[in-house]
């Protein structure tokens, strides 16, 4: 039994309304360790990681004391064995009868990693209580979005009240959107082209406000929706559209941009660079639209120009 006084705040971090409160028992912790599972992209295998230093970001431990991180590669044929679990528990600093418990927790985390289609699963910290119990004091799981259709029970846990409204809207519009900290909005079609666009902006002294991939088969409606999403972000002071006409032709992209701006004019600079099928027709549609759209053939020149325009508006 313990007493508790609950104070309900009006809003939480980043101005988000608090809709749920989790109450946990206060425990006497004797030791904190780290336990995680991730994908090693170079090996193409799952690795289980452990460290005697829990409660801090594993990246910090890796930079400061890499020898304190133990990594076990899981063989796809044998899976994660109990022997590996015991070895990892010992390397994490667990002793005596707790070693077996640590191995069991490591095995359970590995099974959860596979069963939930995770790209990352970690318990940090994993606490050892004064009573000799191992308790997950905090945990994190990153689940592959492409596998969520297999896990309706996980999708049901989503709390959109705690998400950025633009993230929620992007999901509804079927746009791959990641909010960033800069002031130049980006619309691309293809992850590789998107990363190249962000790199160029950074190289020439700009900062991207987002990553937004409309997809290789982006329709005119998707371009219109993407522009509307960026327009709603107050930190966006200019927009850079970088498109390759393949599955969808450049003239279709161009018409989507023109239609969107005619429906609702844009008060911030817009630079468009496109290449690919029907590119000349696409540029012609943009240039003859009578709208304030700046076009470039060169991706470098386009990136440099939008950076200049945004800086001029400051």
pLDDT digits (tens, 9 = 90+) for 18-61: 777 878 788 888 889 999 999 998 888 999 999 888 877 878 87
Question: What CATH number is given for 165-313 in this structure?
Answer: 3.40.50.261
Q: What is the mean pLDDT of residues 295-309?
A: 94
Q: How far apart are CA 168 and CA 179, in angstroms?
A: 11
Q: How do the residues of the chain divide into helix, strand and coil, expressed in percent and rounded to 5?
A: 40, 25, 35
Q: Which of 57, 59, 60, 122 is catalytic?
A: 122
pLDDT higher than threshold 70 for residue 76: yes
pLDDT tens digit sequence for 88-115: 999 898 999 899 999 999 999 999 999 9
Task: Respond yes or no: is residue 280 known to be catalytic.
Answer: no
Domain with CATH 3.40.50.261 in the chain: 165-313
pLDDT tens digit sequence for 219-252: 777 888 888 888 888 999 999 999 998 878 889 8
Of 242, 227, 224, which is closest to residue 304 (Cα–Cα)? 242
Name residue 159's beta-bridge partners. Answer: none
pLDDT tens digit sequence for 143-190: 998 898 899 998 888 777 777 778 777 777 778 888 899 999 999 988
Residues whose CB falls within 8 Å of the CB of residue 70, separated by 6 or more in sequence, listed in order? 49, 50, 51, 88, 91, 92
Dihedral (Cα; 53, 56, 61, 63), 10-degree rounding = -170
Query: What average pLDDT does the chain have?
Result: 86
The pLDDT of residue 190 is 84
Q: How far apart are CA 272 and CA 168, in angstroms?
A: 26
Q: How far apart are CA 178 and CA 209, in angstroms?
A: 9
Q: Which of 34, 53, 177, 253 is catalytic?
A: 34
Evaluate whether 126 touches 134 at the Cβ level (below 8 Å): yes
Task: Respond yes or no: is residue 34 known to be catalytic.
Answer: yes
Q: Above pLDDT 90, what percent of the chain?
A: 42
- Residue 7: which pLDDT band, with cuts at 50, 70 and 90? very low
Of 284, 271, 308, 280, which is closest to residue 197 (Cα–Cα)? 271
Q: How far apart are CA 239 and CA 306, in angstroms?
A: 7
Q: What CATH homologous superfamily does 26-155 map to?
A: ATP-grasp fold, B domain (3.30.470.20)
Predicted TM-score of the model (pTM): 0.66
Domain with CATH 3.30.470.20 in the chain: 26-155
């Amino acid at each position: 039994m313990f007493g508790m006084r609950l104070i309900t705040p009006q809003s939480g971090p980043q101005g988000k309304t608090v809709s749920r409160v989790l109450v946990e028992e206060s425990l006497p912790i004797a030791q904190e360790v780290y336990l995680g599972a991730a994908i090693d992209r170079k090996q193409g295998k799952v690795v289980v990681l452990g460290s005697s230093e829990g409660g801090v970001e594993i990246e910090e431990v890796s930079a400061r004391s890499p020898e304190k991180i133990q990594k076990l590669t899981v063989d796809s044929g044998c899976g994660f064995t109990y022997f590996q679990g015991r070895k990892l528990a010992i390397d994490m600093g667990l002793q005596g009868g707790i070693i077996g418990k640590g191995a069991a927790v490591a095995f359970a985390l590995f099974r959860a990693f596979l069963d939930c289609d995770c790209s990352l699963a970690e318990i940090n910290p994993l606490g050892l209580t004064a009573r000799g119990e191992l308790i997950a004091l905090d945990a994190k799981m990153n689940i592959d979005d492409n596998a969520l259709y297999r896990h309706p029970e996980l999708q049901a846990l989503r709390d959109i009240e705690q998400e950025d409204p633009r993230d929620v809207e992007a999901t509804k519009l079927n746009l791959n959107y990641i909010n960033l900290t800069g002031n130049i909005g980006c619309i691309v079609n293809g992850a590789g082209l998107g990363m190249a666009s962000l790199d160029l902006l950074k190289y020439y002294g700009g900062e991207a406000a987002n990553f937004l991939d409309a997809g290789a088969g982006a329709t005119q409606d998707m371009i219109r929706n993407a522009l509307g999403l960026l327009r709603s972000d107050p930190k966006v002071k200019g927009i850079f559209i970088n498109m390759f006409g393949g599955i969808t032709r450049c003239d279709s992209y161009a018409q989507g941009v023109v239609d969107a701006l005619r429906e609702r004019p844009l008060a911030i600079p817009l630079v468009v660079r496109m290449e690919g099928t029907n590119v000349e027709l696409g540029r012609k549609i943009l240039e003859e639209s009578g709208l304030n759209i700046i076009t470039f053939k060169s991706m470098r020149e386009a990136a440099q120009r939008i950076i200049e325009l945004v800086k001029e508006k400051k």
